[in-house]
Amino acid sequence: MKNPNRETVSKLECLPNIGKKMASYLEVADINTPQSLIGKDAFALYEKLCEKSGKKLDPCVIDVFMSAIDFIEGGEPLPWWKFTEKRKKILLTRPNPVSL
């Protein structure tokens, strides 16, 4: 598991769980630097990505986004699948659930 210095990391691909494909997804959602993830909502990023790409992507993409946001905001570098249950619980309580 990658564990970069969150204060100095400059490339999305250097974040835990983010490879070239996920970095390109983040860029489509207008995220170009790791620090630009701070304060972002993984569900909103996913919606933006799906809208801009014209495709409904696997909801696990939300988990990966959640893991990257959590890390850059100070969390431990955890595998993306550790966020799956949290995503499912949030989807049940959101007033405007993500259309999956």
What confidence tens digit (pLDDT) does each residue in 78-96 have?
999 999 999 999 988 876 6
**What is the distance between the alpha carbons of residues 97 and 92, in angstroms, rounded to a whole number?**
7
User: 13: which 2 tokens?
Assistant: 């691909």
pLDDT of 93 reads 87
Q: What is the mean pLDDT of residues 42-67?
A: 96
Instruction: Indicate the residue type of 96.
Output: N
| 22 vs 25: CA distance, rounded Å | 5
pTM > 0.85: yes or no? yes
Tokens encoding 52: 């801009």
Which pLDDT score is estimated for 100?
54
